[in-house]
Amino acid sequence: MIALSLAEIAAIIGGELRLVDPDTADTVVDGVVDTDSRTMTEGSIFVAKPGAETDGHRFVGNAVAAGAALAIVEHPVDENVSQIVVADVVAALAALAREVVARVRAAGDLKIVGITGSNGKTTTKNFLARILADEGETVSPINSYNNEVGAPVTMLRVTYGTRYLVSEFGAAAPGSIAHLAGLVEPDVAVVLMVGMAHAGGFGGIEATAKAKSELVAAARPDGTAVLNIDDPRVAAMRELAESRGMSVVGFGQSAAADVRAHDLVVTASGTTCEIEVAGERMPLHLRVLGAHHVNNAMAAIAAAGVLGVPASDAIARLETLDIAERWRMQPMGNDRVRIINDAYNASPDSMAAALRTLAQITGPGERTVAVLGAMSELGETAGEEHDRIGLLAVRLNIQRIVVVGPEARRLYISAIGEGSWDSEAVHFPDQDAAFEYLRTELRDGDRVLVKSSNSVGLRHLGDRLGELFS
């Protein structure tokens, strides 16, 4: 964070400053700002966020021991550290982020990119951060820091030397993206897709589309919207962008796209295609597995282009990446048994894309094995969507379908009903049981996808399998 005095911080967040010796109101801090006491270093600011399972106020002492110089709290804590007492620490975190980013922007040439979409946010964020890192100091979220805490924590990492801030915005509810993006008013608003992820919490896919459009509405009027032209709900956001005076850059495979992909070929070593920009075609070999990641790459190339990075440079930098992030189409295992651990998150769209990738990269004499868990936050559509994935797995001729957990049982029943028999589809109550089955079932030539929502935790099963066959 930029250097601020304790008095300045208190004024920004509207809190009561309680000092301990030798601090004064003019004492300056410029360290990490976080709600996790484990990330504290000398001069950091600890935000004591109450939670459903624990209360950050209990960890103020740990934060101080690690070097925290200030605690932002909702009630005073008996620890030897200066504190600012506020009514709501999450609101205080947002207010501090807004002010810090505004000061950095006013003082220099900070450019801000906001990214949202039902799938692909974190991958696109990582792609774009890789491209921009060679242009100047770039701040982007750790993991999927895209909620009411993670987004401001990321914003607060900017300094006067930061040239680019790449923010990822998730939607916990209608208005979430409007609030988070409104803190920084992005220069570039990237909308990837509108799918069924979280649709249960929004009341349907049209409500989800409206929530994603909040990013376009919150961007700077003189900014640019980077839109997936292949997704009709995203393409429709052009009207909103242009009504606000924004420019629009489209990406996709349709002829209307400004950044367009041609001739996709998917293999076990990645995806090759040609990227067309302004009439020029350039080859791209993306080592990150899955044809669906080409869309994320195009979004990153398009956003980087808005910021002045030539497409050829963007492509060259993307080709250096092996994986987008841990647990996202992450290759593991060995040449005999290849594990693809993609269990950080799952929606109907990403589940279908991963299954198609598994089928595409499995060659003659090799066997496809899908280890699948539940997809969360689908609301009343959950049963129907799990049915569809079970049907798709069978129609793609996935040769072993291993379903894990009671919440995913309907996927298993659907696969059986579609014609998967003779132990082609099996169901296990938990990861341990599935692991015991897989350790003896898997054989040379198997290509194994592990996929579920984050809350199900199958990423840990994927890690165990990766280690077993390393």
Residue 119 annotated as part of some ligand binding site: yes
Q: Are 71 and 60 in contact (CB under 8 A)?
A: yes
Residue 117 annotated as part of some ligand binding site: yes
- 314 pairs with which residues across the strands? none
**Residue 455 CB neighbours (<10 A):** 13
Which amino acid is present at 2?
A: I
Which segments of 240-360 are extended strands (E)?
247-252, 259-267, 270-277, 280-286, 330-333, 337-341
Q: Residue 26: helix, strand or coil by DSSP? A: coil
Report which of 110, 97, 100, 104 is spatially closest to residue 136, judged by C-alpha positions.
110
Residues 6+ apart with CB under 8 A from 210: 174
Residue 420 to residue 451: CA distance in whole angstroms:
19
Q: Residue 175: helix, strand or coil by DSSP? A: coil
CA angle 367, 370, 374 (to 5 degrees): 175
Structure tokens at 188: 């570039």
Residue 208 annotated as part of some ligand binding site: no
Residue 159 annotated as part of some ligand binding site: no
Q: Cβ-count burial of 279 within 10 angstroms (0-12 exposed, 13-18 middle, 19+ buried)?
A: exposed
Q: Cβ-count burial of 42 within 10 angstroms (0-12 exposed, 13-18 middle, 19+ buried)?
A: exposed
Q: Cβ-count burial of 137 within 10 angstroms (0-12 exposed, 13-18 middle, 19+ buried)?
A: middle
Residue 272 Rama label (left phi>0; alpha psi -120 to 50; beta): beta
Residue 62 annotated as part of some ligand binding site: no
Q: Cβ-count burial of 329 within 10 angstroms (0-12 exposed, 13-18 middle, 19+ buried)?
A: buried
In 252-337, alpha helices (H): 292-306, 311-318
Residue 136 annotated as part of some ligand binding site: no
Residue 228 annotated as part of some ligand binding site: no
Residue 343 to residue 453: CA distance in whole angstroms:
6
Residue 60 to residue 48: CA distance in whole angstroms:
7
What residues are designated binding site?
A: 117-123
What residues are designated binding site for ATP?
A: 117-123
